[in-house]
Amino acid sequence: MIYWINGSYGVGKTTIAEALVKESNKAYIFDPEAVGNAVRDNHPEELICSYIFEDYELWRKFNYELLKDISSKYDGDIVVPMTLVRKESYDDIIKRLKDNNVEILYFFLDGDYKTIHDRILKRGEGEDSWCMQNVKMCLDAQKNDSNAIHIDTVNKTPEEIVKEIITKKSSH
């Protein structure tokens, strides 16, 4: 099973992914940011189109191909903590995996501005950090994403959130 954990920068995706891996008999975290760094960092400077990896078609394609390949060979769970704000990313990765019979559950960790703001500050980033500057974009994506299973994270512990994800898995 692939668990894609979406949500705003700072909402707790990595924390939840790590907790999910601990709860599983066999699982690992797949890092789409490593793919993004490889794609972006290997373009000449004048071809760099964005700091958001989703804006690179190759990023979407490579993540789809890697996840499809790994899921066909690996008998454990794959946990993917990655913010998606572009519809193309859902279509090119998650929907395409589903269309090719790959088991994937797509979650969105919902938060409010104050909760996300406070979590970003707690992890040591400032008011002017890139993540902080892009919270509104992520909250807009949260509001408009009808494909995901939404999990409210406000005033919840990571353990409560993981329990909710595992319960949702059982019902799907």
Structural domains of the chain sorted by starting position, each given as residue range(s) with its CATH number in brackets: 2-163 (3.40.50.300)
Give the tens place of pLDDT for each residue, 49-78.
777 899 999 999 999 999 999 999 999 999
pTM attached to this predicted model: 0.93
Give the tens place of pLDDT for each residue, 131-161.
999 999 999 999 999 999 999 999 999 999 9
Tell me how far apart the alpha carbons of residues 35 and 53 are, in angstroms, rounded to a whole number: 9
Q: Using alpha carbons only, give the angle 16, 4, 132 rounded to the nearest 5 degrees.
A: 65
Q: Using alpha carbons only, give the angle 115, 20, 57 rounded to the nearest 5 degrees.
A: 75
Tell me how far apart the alpha carbons of residues 25 and 6 are, in angstroms, rounded to a whole number: 23
Tokens standing for residue 131: 């993540």
